[in-house]
């Protein structure tokens, strides 16, 4: 186990995040947002702004910075600000004021007078359900509706009607904001025709490409640097509004520009998780065997329809064995802030619905919910031939039940003084994915090595993972490996997202390391080299000859007068995708205490047992899973964006958008079963960034039911949901 390698920099304040850069001559930009949710900006009076002290420039849709819509393979198109006068949501960026100081820019921005031609906004998912549209195909290309029926079964309705036991219910989940502690920000510097941007993002090379496209500059003219990212969670996958504006304004003004969103602006000017409504119907035999599953999902989406939260496709499509299944996904375009990927997109809200419904079925059957899940555990997604590569979910439940004292659980919970205590459980699944990635492995003459890729470590621990897999692949101690990331000048590491970075970058290291070792051996045996003509091999950081002689790789490099040698390795998903289905699995356990009189809900114990393949670095992996589980607590009991009828966000700051504080969180137990999944990738790791959150909200709602007998089908669960009629 290795401590997080960047911790010493982070605990001393020496880690420089995007907005911590202060180049000479820097000026400050402040973003102006719309104050209506739907309409058109007809005029912006900036006279007073221009007259304000220190103001250097004011950009609006009428006097804009030219920006072009960039595209990338993962994020699709990224919206760029100020290019037209349409307003599609309240809090949309419509202006940018640049001044000598932060205070001058902020104060001047408040003087902008905006005139709108307003239209009535649509902001309620519930009101929009009747006008819902079919969603576009999901990321794997599946159509909005997928039907799997056993032969002879005419429809899912028939299958449900023929089921001896049926539960049907509708669940809702609130829209959410990533709320990473670092607001989206950027410092942009142009020097000799080259742009350097310091801005937290989930992939520096993708960010550089997107800025180059937006600015119509060659890729070689854009350098993105972000070795430290103050949290992302999917919300920094796209290049941010401050990054586009700072970069364009810096080019226009010939001065470095710093721009940061305020916390309030982050809630609307970045991305959010959609609200969802989900209708579940489960049909089962009396012994619990699932015979029919229907999961219909509606998700809010912005008017651009750019991103759809796919809840049924991300859960019910794959989780349980059933001969008959219909899932569907619809979208409801609204005048709301953009939606985007947020930690376990689809799986997090989808698992609240599915795993609550499974618990309801267990209650209906009078069956232990773990036994019900075991009985319907899938060998492969329904209707697909490709079996799971490695699935140990039953073992997760077994270990979890034992550690958590599940056998002590009783129907109706137990009472402890004024507290009603209940236990709940849920399954967690998250697909095992990886993206194309390249990594450079360098051997240096001083017997150190470097492992370098452009990817990001937004708190995930990728930096340490590069060092550990690099050391393993080069057969040397991790202390001798210097990892580098967060710089678009390095080989393309792609995006830190989808719980992929360890599998993607790790696999590329395992390609690059043998290549650089081969080159070392060739050099070592070349004419004039120390092992000229000899048969040589490599182990333990040394070149070995059959006659017993050996030299370290540094000694070899010095002998042949080379300061370093390097190889770039690349990896991408391949033929394994045609052989198996891939997912991580987990069993979530939760104990809640509900106050008999106030109905306050407290989570008092949590346990997650995860089957995520090989764990590279246990301590940070455990931390990340724990963080995910606490996100589940937050979804279940704390957070939700409250959007008013006029599109205003009623709780867009940290005083009113609730996320857990230290006192809300008990000790969290995280356990692994470790079965390296080398069918998926050579590292055997399936990633731990997202699965932690999956299922937790359902486990909590199920525990609340166990404690109180009240089934809450919406999150976040509020006190009023638990008050007696």
Q: Which of 307, 295, 277, 308 is nearest to 128 (CA)?
A: 277
Contact call for residue 379 and another protein (CB under 8 A): no
Q: How far is the CB of 494 from another protein (least distance, A)?
A: 19
Contact call for residue 131 and another protein (CB under 8 A): no
Residue closer to another protein (CB basis): 179 or 421: 179
Contact call for residue 268 and another protein (CB under 8 A): no
Contact call for residue 403 and another protein (CB under 8 A): no
Q: How far is the CB of 457 from another protein (least distance, A)?
A: 9
Single out the segment in contact with another protein by CB under 8 A; choices: 100-108, 164-172, 273-281, 437-445: 100-108
Single out the segment in contact with another protein by CB under 8 A; choices: 13-21, 68-76, 380-388, 484-492: 13-21
d(CA 691, CA 450): 30
Contact call for residue 207 and another protein (CB under 8 A): no
Residue closer to another protein (CB basis): 260 or 505: 260
Contact call for residue 630 and another protein (CB under 8 A): yes
Contact call for residue 690 and another protein (CB under 8 A): no
Q: How far is the CB of 166 from another protein (least distance, A)?
A: 38
Q: Which of 70, 81, 121, 230 binds another protein (CB under 8 A)?
A: 230
Residue closer to another protein (CB basis): 167 or 633: 633
Tell me the CA distances in angstroms from 217 to 238, 251, 259, 366, 520, one per residue in order. Answer: 18, 11, 21, 65, 39
Catalytic residue, candidates 63, 642, 690, 720: 690
Single out the segment in contact with another protein by CB under 8 A; choices: 16-24, 57-65, 482-490, 585-593: 16-24
Contacts of 160 (CB under 8 A, 6+ apart): 166, 281, 283, 292, 294
Residue closer to another protein (CB basis): 298 or 657: 657
Single out the segment in contact with another protein by CB under 8 A; choices: 376-384, 542-550, 625-633, 674-682: 625-633
Tell me the CA distances in angstroms from 611 to 379, 501, 616, one per residue in order. Answer: 15, 17, 13
Q: How far is the CB of 11 from another protein (least distance, A)?
A: 4
d(CA 440, CA 438): 7
Contact call for residue 675 and another protein (CB under 8 A): no
Q: How far is the CB of 55 from another protein (least distance, A)?
A: 15
CB burial of residue 283 (10 Å; 0-12, 13-18, 19+):
buried
Residue 355 dihedral angles phi and psi, to the nearest 5°: -75, -20
Residue 624 dihedral angles phi and psi, to the nearest 5°: -70, -40
Q: How far is the CB of 564 from another protein (least distance, A)?
A: 28
Q: Could you give the maximum distance between any two Cα atoms of the chain, in Å?
A: 90
Q: Is 91 helix (H, G, I), strand (E, B) or coil?
A: coil
Q: Which residue has the tokens 């209650």?
A: 363
CB burial of residue 489 (10 Å; 0-12, 13-18, 19+):
middle
Q: Which of 47, 69, 101, 110 binds another protein (CB under 8 A)?
A: 101
Tell me: cis bond preceding 332? Omega within 30 of 0 counts: no
Q: Which two structure tokens, joined as six digits, stand for 67?
A: 């920006």
Contact call for residue 545 and another protein (CB under 8 A): no
Q: How far is the CB of 245 from another protein (least distance, A)?
A: 18
Sheet holding 55-59, edge to edge: 55-59, 93-99, 27-33, 257-260, 185-191, 194-198, 222-225
Q: Which of 145, 166, 221, 263 binds another protein (CB under 8 A)?
A: 263
Half-sphere exposure for 288 (CA within 13 Å, toward CB): 19
Q: How far is the CB of 685 from another protein (least distance, A)?
A: 18
Contact call for residue 602 and another protein (CB under 8 A): no
d(CA 545, CA 535): 6
Contact call for residue 695 and another protein (CB under 8 A): no
Contact call for residue 247 and another protein (CB under 8 A): no
d(CA 48, CA 57): 12
Residue closer to another protein (CB basis): 452 or 688: 688
Residue closer to another protein (CB basis): 28 or 404: 28
Contact call for residue 506 and another protein (CB under 8 A): no
Antiparallel, parallel or unpaired: β 481-484 and 449-452: parallel
Single out the segment in contact with another protein by CB under 8 A; choices: 6-14, 167-175, 384-392, 717-725: 6-14
d(CA 482, CA 479): 8
Residue closer to another protein (CB basis): 163 or 623: 623
CA 291 to chain centre: 33
Q: How far is the CB of 19 from another protein (least distance, A)?
A: 7
Half-sphere exposure for 136 (CA within 13 Å, toward CB): 9
Contacts of 359 (CB under 8 A, 6+ apart): 369, 424, 426, 698, 701, 702, 705
d(CA 632, CA 350): 12
Contact call for residue 11 and another protein (CB under 8 A): yes
Single out the segment in contact with another protein by CB under 8 A; choices: 289-297, 302-310, 442-450, 615-623: 615-623
Q: Which of 130, 216, 379, 663 binds another protein (CB under 8 A)?
A: 663
- On whether the CB atoms of residues 632 and 700 are closer than 8 A, the answer is yes
Count of residues touching another protein (by CB under 8 A)? 63
- Tell me, residue by residue from 23 to 42, as one string, x for binding to another protein by CB under 8 A and - for no binding: -----x--------------
Q: How far is the CB of 608 from another protein (least distance, A)?
A: 13
Q: Which two structure tokens, joined as six digits, stand for 228?
A: 């430290």
Q: Is 690 a known active-site residue?
A: yes
Q: Which of 5, 501, 449, 473 is nearest to 204 (CA)?
A: 501
d(CA 364, CA 165): 8
Q: How far is the CB of 257 from another protein (least distance, A)?
A: 13
- On whether the CB atoms of residues 328 and 675 are closer than 8 A, the answer is no
Contact call for residue 20 and another protein (CB under 8 A): yes
Q: Which two structure tokens, joined as six digits, stand for 583?
A: 């997912």
- On whether the CB atoms of residues 75 and 304 are closer than 8 A, the answer is no
Q: Which of 201, 274, 276, 203 is nearest to 241 (CA)?
A: 201
Q: Which of 6, 205, 690, 721 binds another protein (CB under 8 A)?
A: 6
Q: Which of 15, 139, 169, 559 binds another protein (CB under 8 A)?
A: 15
- On whether the CB atoms of residues 237 and 497 are closer than 8 A, the answer is yes
d(CA 614, CA 440): 23
Task: Report the site for another protein in 169-198 (rule: CB under 8 A).
Answer: 178-183
d(CA 377, CA 305): 35
Q: How far is the CB of 598 from another protein (least distance, A)?
A: 18
- Tell me, residue by residue from 431 to 470, as one string, x for binding to another protein by CB under 8 A and - for no binding: ---------------------------xxxx---------
Contact call for residue 619 and another protein (CB under 8 A): yes
Q: Which positions lie near another protein, rule CB under 8 A? A: 3-4, 6-17, 19-20, 22, 28, 101-103, 178-183, 228-233, 260, 262-263, 458-461, 619-620, 622-624, 626-627, 630-631, 634, 653-655, 659-668
Residues serving a catalytic function are: 690
């Amino acid at each position: 186990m290795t401590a997080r390698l960047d911790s010493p920099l982070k605990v001393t304040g020496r880690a420089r995040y995007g907005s911590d850069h202060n180049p000479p001559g820097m000026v400050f930009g402040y973003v102006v947002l719309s104050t209506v949710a739907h309409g058109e900006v007809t005029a912006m009076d900036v006279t007073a702004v221009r007259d304000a002290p220190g103001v250097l420039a004011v950009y609006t849709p009428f006097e804009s910075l030219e920006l072009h819509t960039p595209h990338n393979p993962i994020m699709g198109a990224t919206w760029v600000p100020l290019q037209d006068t349409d307003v599609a949501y309240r809090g949309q960026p419509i202006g940018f004021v640049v001044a000598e100081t932060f205070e001058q820019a902020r104060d001047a921005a408040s003087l902008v007078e905006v005139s709108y031609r307003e239209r009535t906004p649509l902001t309620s998912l519930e009101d929009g359900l009747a006008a819902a549209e079919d969603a576009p195909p999901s990321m794997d290309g599946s159509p909005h509706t997928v039907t799997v029926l056993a032969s002879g079964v005419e429809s899912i309705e028939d299958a449900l009607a023929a089921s001896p036991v049926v539960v049907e219910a509708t669940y809702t989940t609130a829209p959410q904001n990533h709320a990473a502690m670092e607001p989206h920000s950027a410092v942009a510097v142009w020097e000799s025709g080259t742009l350097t941007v310091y801005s937290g993002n989930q992939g520096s090379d993708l960010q550089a490409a997107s800025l180059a496209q937006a600015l119509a500059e060659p890729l070689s003219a854009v350098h993105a640097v972000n070795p430290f990212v103050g949290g992302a969670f999917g919300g920094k996958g796209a290049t941010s509004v401050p990054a586009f504006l700072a970069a364009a304004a810096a080019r226009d003004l010939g001065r470095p520009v710093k721009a940061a969103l305020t916390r309030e602006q982050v809630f609307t000017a970045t991305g959010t998780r959609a609200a969802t409504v989900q209708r579940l119907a489960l049909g089962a035999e009396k012994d619990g065997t699932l015979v029919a599953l229907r999961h219909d999902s509606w998700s809010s989406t912005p008017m651009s329809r750019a991103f759809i939260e796919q809840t049924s496709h991300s859960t019910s499509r794959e989780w349980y064995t059933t001969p008959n299944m219909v899932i569907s996904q619809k979208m409801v375009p609204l005048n709301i802030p953009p939606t985007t990927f947020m930690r376990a997109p689809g799986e997090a809200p989808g698992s609240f619905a599915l795993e609550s419904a499974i618990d309801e079925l267990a209650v209906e059957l009078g069956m232990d919910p773990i036994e019900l899940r075991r009985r319907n555990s899938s060998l492969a997604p329904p209707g697909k031939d490709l079996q799971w590569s490695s699935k140990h979910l039953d073992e997760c439940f077994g270990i979890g039940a034992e550690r958590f004292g599940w056998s002590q659980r009783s129907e109706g919970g137990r009472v402890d003084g004024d507290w009603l205590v209940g236990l709940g459980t849920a399954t967690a699944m998250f697909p095992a994915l990886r993206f194309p990635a390249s990594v450079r492995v360098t051997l240096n003459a001083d017997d150190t090595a470097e492992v370098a890729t452009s990817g990001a470590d937004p708190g995930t621990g990728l930096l340490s993972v590069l060092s550990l897999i690099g050391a393993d692949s080069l057969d040397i101690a991790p202390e001798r490996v210097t990892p580098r990331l967060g710089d678009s000048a390095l080989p393309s590491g792609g995006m830190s997202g989808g719980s992929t970075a360890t599998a993607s970058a790790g696999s590329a290291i395992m390609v690059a390391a043998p290549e650089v070792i081969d080159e070392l051996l060739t050099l070592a045996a070349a004419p004039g080299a120390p092992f000229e003509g000899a048969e040589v091999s490599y182990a333990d950081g040394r070149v070995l000859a059959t006659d017993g002689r050996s030299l370290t790789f540094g000694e070899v490099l010095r002998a042949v007068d080379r300061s370093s040698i390097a190889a770039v390795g690349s990896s991408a998903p391949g033929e394994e995708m045609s052989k198996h289905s891939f997912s991580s699995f987990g069993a979530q356990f939760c104990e809640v205490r509900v106050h008999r009189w106030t109905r306050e809900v407290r989570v008092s114990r949590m346990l997650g047992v995860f089957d995520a393949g090989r764990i590279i670095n246990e301590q940070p992996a455990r931390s990340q899973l724990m963080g995910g589980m606490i996100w589940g607590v937050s979804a279940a009991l704390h957070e939700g964006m409250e959007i008013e009828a006029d599109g205003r966000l009623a709780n867009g700051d940290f005083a009113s958008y609730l996320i857990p504080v230290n006192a809300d969180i008990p000790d969290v137990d995280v356990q692994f079963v470790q079965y390296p999944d080398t069918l998926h990738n050579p590292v055997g790791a399936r990633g731990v960034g997202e699965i932690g959150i999956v299922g937790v909200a359902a486990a909590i709602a199920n525990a609340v039911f166990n404690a109180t007998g009240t089934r809450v089908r919406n999150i976040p669960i509020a006190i009023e949901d638990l008050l007696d009629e």
